[in-house]
Amino acid sequence: MDFGIVLQNDPPAWRVVDLAQRAENYGFSHVWTFDSHLLWQEPFVVYSQVLAATHRVMVGPMVTNPATRDWTVTASLFATLNHMFGNRTVCGIGRGDSAVRVINGKPVTLAELRAAIEVIRPLANGQTADYKGNQLRFPWGEQSRLPIWVGAYGPKMLALTGEIADGFILQLADPDITAWSIQAVRQAAASAGRDPESITICVAAPAYVTDGSAGGLAWGRDQCRWFGGMVGNHVADIVARYGADGAAVPKALSDYIAGREGYDYNSHGKAGNAHTDFVPDEVIDRFCLIGPPAAQVERLEQLRSLGVDQFALYLQHDAKDATLAAYGETIIPRINLRPTAQMAGPARTVGQ
């Protein structure tokens, strides 16, 4: 299983670069950031510094959208980074949330998202795109390669993901909802004549490593409660469209938002904000990974058995460094076991 981290572009940007460097040293394969240009600093500027300071990690937004940038600009940003740093970017994309809502915009339609992907993908992969009646191509971008991963919850978005995406991003770690979502994506892929197994599955959720005590668990839950509010904000749109009877989305995903009264984007993704008090502990336990390393390994193994290829952990809490270290030193090695020198051949002693 691959591992990624998801960061906010809070100033100073060098803190983001530092966390990215340490994540690479700990064995993480991906560094993701939020993309809301008013709430945080501009991610593509930060990506150039992350890529310059690292060697292997893939870098990209979780997630960008087709509304706040011209589609050709988005493609050019990725293709330029690839040209400079050797095809180390990935485009996470969705309909738009915080980036568009804070400017009184609306998420794009599914048709607009599909159209945007059909422009961004060829341009950022060295090909020609049809855009507003023109045939466009980057003359310098022939070697660029960009996988496009779509973030989705609702049935129509899951279907779109299966039809056109290289990867699927699910922003929660509940095993039942994960299984339901993966099945929907893979069924759509098969119906579209694609290999369902060709779509990379990424589950993204906060992780908070505790000492196993009741007090530690309670503190970790409160540090991650913001995530339940963020997911609830997405789910509210789906429930408004389809209803809450469980026909369109699992009731496990929709039931908890009954007590939701609103959402303040000024506190988007921040621990301790008051507008997420409606989120119960049970939801936090299902959506996030909170607890000692052994408990987190158990959940990760369960997710891997469902077909999850990457777990991307959000680091929006007061234990960024400790959680990153716990994953790098304990959890990732236990998930991705490697043969030891003794297993591979005769043991050597120092000085031989």
- By percentage, how much of the chain surpasses pLDDT 90? 74
Q: Is the pLDDT of residue 341 over 50?
A: no
What is the torsional sign of CA 296, 298, 301, 302?
Answer: negative
- What's the average model confidence in pLDDT over 253-280? 62
Q: Which helix or strand (DSSP H or E) is residue 100 part of?
A: helix 98-101
- pLDDT score of 129: 98
Question: Of residues 264 and 256, which shows the higher confidence score?
Answer: 256
Alpha carbon distance 232, 43 (integer Å): 25
- pLDDT score of 262: 57
Burial class (CB in 10 A: 0-12, 13-18, 19+), 109: exposed
Contact between 174 and 289 under an 8 Å Cβ cutoff? The reply is no
- By percentage, how much of the chain surpasses pLDDT 70? 84
Q: Is the pLDDT of residue 101 over 90?
A: no
- What's the average model confidence in pLDDT over 202-223? 96
- What's the average model confidence in pLDDT over 174-188? 95
Alpha carbon distance 320, 24 (integer Å): 15
pLDDT tens per residue across span 114-166:
999 999 999 999 999 999 999 999 999 999 999 999 999 989 999 999 999 99
- pLDDT score of 343: 33
* Tokens 């009954």 found at: 258
In three-state form (DSSP H/G/I as H, E/B as E, the rest C), the secondary structure along 13-55 is: HHHHHHHHHHHHHCCCCEEEECCCCCCCCCHHHHHHHHHHHCC
- pLDDT score of 292: 97
Confidence grade of residue 346 (pLDDT, cut at 50, 70, 90): very low
Nearest CA to 6 out of 304, 288, 297 is that of: 288
Question: What residues are paired with 60 via a beta bridge?
Answer: 32
Nearest CA to 35 out of 13, 5, 68 is that of: 68
Q: What angle do CA 26, 204, 68 make, to 5 degrees?
A: 110
Confidence grade of residue 349 (pLDDT, cut at 50, 70, 90): very low
- What's the average model confidence in pLDDT over 210-223? 95
Pairing mode, strands 129-131 and 134-136: antiparallel
- pLDDT score of 261: 53
Confidence grade of residue 340 (pLDDT, cut at 50, 70, 90): very low
* Tokens 């339609």 found at: 109
Cis peptide before 59 (omega within 30 of 0): no
- pLDDT score of 322: 96
Nearest CA to 1 out of 295, 309, 207, 326 is that of: 309
Confidence grade of residue 313 (pLDDT, cut at 50, 70, 90): very high
* pTM, 2 dp: 0.89
Pseudo-torsion of CA 339, 21, 173, 117, nearest 10°?
A: -110
Alpha carbon distance 96, 92 (integer Å): 11
Pseudo-torsion of CA 185, 331, 234, 94, nearest 10°?
A: -60
